[in-house]
Amino acid sequence: MTFLSPWPLLLSGAVALGVVALHLLTTRRPPAAVLPTARFVPLAEARAVARTSRPTDLLLLALRVLAVLLIGAAFARPVFDAAGPAVRTVVMLDISRAVADPAAARALAETEIGEGGALVVFDSAARELPLDSLATVGPGRGAIGYLSPALVVARRAAARIARGADSVRLVLVSPLVDGALDAATPVFRAAWPGRLDLRRVAAATDTARGAPATLVTALEDDPLAPAVADVGGLRGGHRVRIVRESTGAVTGVAAGASDADVVVYWPATFEDSIVPAGVTAFDPAGTGSATIVAPLARLSVDAAAASDGARVIARWNDGTAAAVQVPAGENCVRYVGVGVPLSGDLTLRAPFTRFLETLLAPCNGVVGAPLAGSDVDWLASTAPLASAAVLAASSPAQGDRWPLILLAIATVLLVAEVFARRRRIE
Amino acid sequence: MPVGPYGALLDAVRGVRWPARRPVPGGAPGAHQARSRGIAPEFAEYRPYRQGDDTRRIDWKLLARSDRAFIRLAPDQAILGTTFIVDASASMDFPGGSADAGKWLLAKRLVIALAAAAHGGADPVGLIVASGAGVQRLAPRTRRGVIAEMARTLDDTRPVGSAPLAPLVPASRSRCVVVTDCLGDLDALRAALARHRARGGEAHVLHVVARAELEPAATAVMATDPEDPACQRPLLATTRAAYRDGFDAFRAETARAMLIDGVHYHEVVDDDAPEIVVRRIVMPVMAR
């Protein structure tokens, strides 16, 4: 048994000693002694405090001491130690598309994790998995494994497995590509009370370019055509189809049935609705953005934004949605509400090319380049392993019923003490 | 004279005499100056002859010179009977369990020593012992062996119960010595001694106090009066000072009242040396 917060137990021990000391004092009637001049003693309360060599009222003393100790033990958060090694390991396994060889990463995690450890897998989100599922865990859909949520889940898992251990080792198996770290990562890293063993694996960076996007349009001189040509082969090797129709007019082009990984509905624009505006497109992985400021037409994407799983991938400067991505199985459909003027050279400018390339990114974003070693060295440190006691004490012992059981027993003892005291008085 | 354990004490007070504080009524010849005039060799004064006087007491030479008959007078010496009234109530048996100390032991020693001093002056000495078991009386006598008889009587007495002392005060104009702790019928005793004093007798009160009564132990006890078990008072740290004040006031008031009544009051503590106390009583001026 381990006490996560031993101070209440020590305090209750001191209180119990005080109770014993009080039982060595008795306030009973003093012993009678002959004194012929007793008549000159003033009348007073015939009770005096006296010390005794043996505690009085052993039953009451036992009940009180036990109750005090049990209350202290309950607040000391007792846990029964689970069997296992003294050092346990939490492995954070990156399962995003940034991992070039997921099988090798799994094998590395398996060698690191050991008995009694915990497995945390993460890409755009993090979750803890049972150890026996390590062999079957599949690749995630996210382009990048984000470290911050992984650290949070790892801390929670470490608090769970820390009971009964001396220390906990934290191992990160990830390629750590650009975008894996964010502003919160240093905070969560600092919250881990020990060192982090970094095991970097090969990254699958989306550097190769595949085929250019396919533009389906009824316009003879579609202004998007030169921009699509400028973008050229898409980074990530996915296939994109741009449909210059409204969604209702398109038939037979379902994302699942399409030969494209990404279908972009981008209606044409009426010239009279164009006003100067700014719009920013975000890479779905959150690694980049592109902004254009030009005469543009605002087209509504509210209907698409109301779909299940819809997420905004471009916003007007006033915060309203300019483009929405809706998942469709393994693929996705994007609805763009940015009206491009049919005339002018907007689509020929470099900002628009970057804007278009961002809108044509893979559904889960583009995998960035691996971070330099100097950028991630601060993650690891020469600090000792995290103390299991610190980890366990910082987390509430969920599911532990022992404090409640001890408090219940203490309550029963206190009730018994009341009855015993009444009986003694009678 | 078999006096048992009092031998050393009697040796210590040997030669001590107990003169009367004032002329005693006339009586049998003794060591005390009497109020009457007698025929002792020492000349005191002349008195005109009156019919009925013994003609042998006429100073014939003065008659020849003055032609008037005078009777030659001389100071008279008389005895003074001394009666010891000893309080043998239960309160005198304190502290119990000690053969070398305590109020009762001191009372016995003082009585024997003072009786010896009085008896040494040819005074008859008597004893009255009052206890819960009854009253024992030894009439005043001058014969040899009276001291030993008093010692036996006292040694055979065990202080128990309570008994009033006032009725035991003698009606004669003798010396009355009351040995008590003044915890009994004190008011009645005072009145009786005042009457005895008014009759011309001499009264002494030896107030016997135990050291343990003056300075009770620091431990908390339920003080119980041995003569009144219903009287139980808690003697604690909080009440000890008030007890001392009350007892001191009682003793001071008793001494003052005795002085007003003309009673010779002596407070003695059970750890006092009896031979010194005896000298203090019989020769108060010298002792001071």
How many helices (H) does chain A have, and how many strands (E)?
Answer: 11, 22
pLDDT digits (tens, 9 = 90+) for B126-138: 999 999 999 999 9
Q: Which residue has the higher pLDDT, A244 or B265?
A: B265
pLDDT value at residue A253: 47
Q: Are A314 and A334 in contact (CB under 8 A)?
A: no
Average pLDDT across chain A, whole number: 82
Distance CA A353, CA A229 (A): 9
Give the pLDDT mean for A203-211. Answer: 74
Q: What is the rounded (10 degree) CA torsion for A189, A191, A193, A199?
A: -20
Residues 6+ apart with CB under 8 A from A224: A215, A217, A242, A244, A266, A340, A347, A356
pLDDT digits (tens, 9 = 90+) for A291-341: 999 889 888 888 888 888 888 889 999 999 999 988 887 788 888 988 888
pLDDT value at residue B36: 64
Q: How confident is the model at residue A257 (pLDDT cuts 50, 70, 90)?
A: very low
Give the pLDDT mean for A243-254. Answer: 56
Quick one: tokens of B198?
Answer: 């008014």
Q: Are A171 and A92 in contact (CB under 8 A)?
A: yes
Q: Are B273 and B8 in contact (CB under 8 A)?
A: no
- Closest CB to A32: pick one of B210, B213, B232: B232
Q: Which residue has the higher pLDDT, A341 or A284?
A: A341
Q: In chain B, what residues touch A35 (CB-CB under 8 Å)?
A: 94, 212-213, 216, 221, 223-225, 235
Q: In chain A, what residues touch B212 (CB-CB under 8 Å)?
A: 35
pLDDT value at residue A251: 42
Q: In chain A, what residues touch B102 (CB-CB under 8 Å)?
A: none
Q: SS3 breakdown of chain B: % helix, strand, coil, rounded to 5?
A: 35, 25, 35
Backbone angles phi, psi at A87, to 5 degrees: -110, 125
Give the pLDDT mean for B68-82. Answer: 81
Quick one: tokens of A389?
Answer: 């006691």
pLDDT value at residue B274: 92
Could you tell me the sign of the dihedral formed by the alpha carbons of B56, B62, B64, B67, in that order? negative
Q: How confident is the model at residue B35 (pLDDT cuts 50, 70, 90)?
A: low
Q: How confident is the model at residue B29 (pLDDT cuts 50, 70, 90)?
A: low
Give the pLDDT mean for A27-33. Answer: 78
Most confident of A86-90, A346-350, B185-189: B185-189
CB contact under 8 A, A41 and B234: yes
Query: Which of B179, B131, B165 lies closest to B277, judged by CA?
Result: B179
pLDDT value at residue A249: 43
Distance CA A29, CA A47 (A): 5
Unique residue bearing structure tokens 């940015």: A338
Give the pLDDT mean for A240-252. Answer: 64
Whether the predicted pLDDT of B21 surpasses 60: yes
Distance CA A122, CA A109 (A): 13
CB contact under 8 A, A34 and B224: yes
B interface test, pick of A27, A28, A34, A47 with most B CB neighbours within 10 Å? A34
> CA separation (Å) from B215 to A82, A158, B164, B241?
69, 73, 27, 10
Q: How confident is the model at residue B208 (pLDDT cuts 50, 70, 90)?
A: very high
pLDDT digits (tens, 9 = 90+) for A129-158: 888 888 788 777 777 888 899 999 998 888
3-class SS at A304?
helix
CB contact under 8 A, B220 and A48: yes
Quick one: tokens of B224?
Answer: 């119980």
Whether the predicted pLDDT of B194 surpasses 60: yes
Give the pLDDT mean for B174-187. Answer: 93
pLDDT value at residue B190: 94
Residue ranges with strand state E in A136-239: 167-174, 196-200, 209-212, 214-216, 233-235
Q: How confident is the model at residue A77 (pLDDT cuts 50, 70, 90)?
A: confident
Give the pLDDT mean for A31-48. Answer: 83
> CA separation (Å) from A144 to A180, A210, A302, A374, B44?
6, 20, 28, 19, 147
Average pLDDT across chain B, whole number: 87
Distance CA A175, CA B9 (A): 115
Q: What is the rounded (10 degree) CA torsion for B147, B149, B150, B156?
A: 140
Distance CA A269, CA A274 (A): 8
Quick one: tokens of A133?
Answer: 């599922």
pLDDT digits (tens, 9 = 90+) for B155-171: 999 999 999 999 999 98
Q: SS3 breakdown of chain A: % helix, strand, coil, rounded to 5?
A: 35, 25, 40
Decide if A35 touches B, using CB distance below 8 A.
Answer: yes
- Closest CB to A35: pick one of B220, B223, B236: B223
Whether the predicted pLDDT of A70 surpasses 60: yes
Written as one string, the DSSP assignment of A412-424 is HHHHHHHHHHHHH
Quick one: tokens of A55?
Answer: 């505690």
Decide if B242 touches A, using CB distance below 8 A.
Answer: yes
Q: Which residue has the higher pLDDT, B232 or A82?
A: B232
Q: How confident is the model at residue B239 (pLDDT cuts 50, 70, 90)?
A: confident
Question: Beta partners for A139?
Answer: none
Q: Are A69 and A413 in contact (CB under 8 A)?
A: no
